[in-house]
């Protein structure tokens, strides 16, 4: 039993040292390590958010059934509306 308790004590000491080492290593935030190629995804997400936010604000197309939003096909302009 003493060997088992000695091993457990040693493991606890190692775990405590590891915790202190990890705490002393101040990890910078993810934003500092973000690769520039990932910026295009953030821009695309912002554009998609704008598109979906504006969906409810679109007027309904007069030529499409079921109140589909206007997709600016110029059908109204070509018919003089």
User: What are the structural domain ranges in the chain?
Assistant: 2-79
pLDDT value at 11 more than 90:
yes
Q: Per DSSP, what are the bridge partners of residue 69?
A: 60
CA distance 68 to 64: 6
pLDDT value at 14 more than 90:
yes
Task: Among 3-7, 10-14, 43-47, 55-59, name the most confident range.
Answer: 10-14
67-80 mean pLDDT? 75
pLDDT value at 17 more than 90:
yes
For the record, the structure tokens of 47 come out as: 């554009």
Residues constituting the chain: 81
Integer angstrom CA distances of residue 58 from 34, 48, 53, 80: 36, 15, 10, 20
Taking only the tens place, the pLDDT of each residue in 18-68 is 988 888 886 655 555 667 776 777 787 888 888 777 665 667 787 777 777
CA distance 78 to 72: 12
pTM for the full model? Answer: 0.32
């Amino acid at each position: 039993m003493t060997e088992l308790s000695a091993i457990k004590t040693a493991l606890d000491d190692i775990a405590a040292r590891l915790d202190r080492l990890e705490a002393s290593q101040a990890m910078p935030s993810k934003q500092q390590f973000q690769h520039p190629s990932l910026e295009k995804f953030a821009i695309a997400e912002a554009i998609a958010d704008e598109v979906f936010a504006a969906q409810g604000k679109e007027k309904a197309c007069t030529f499409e059934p079921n109140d589909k939003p206007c997709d600016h096909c110029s059908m109204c302009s070509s018919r003089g509306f």
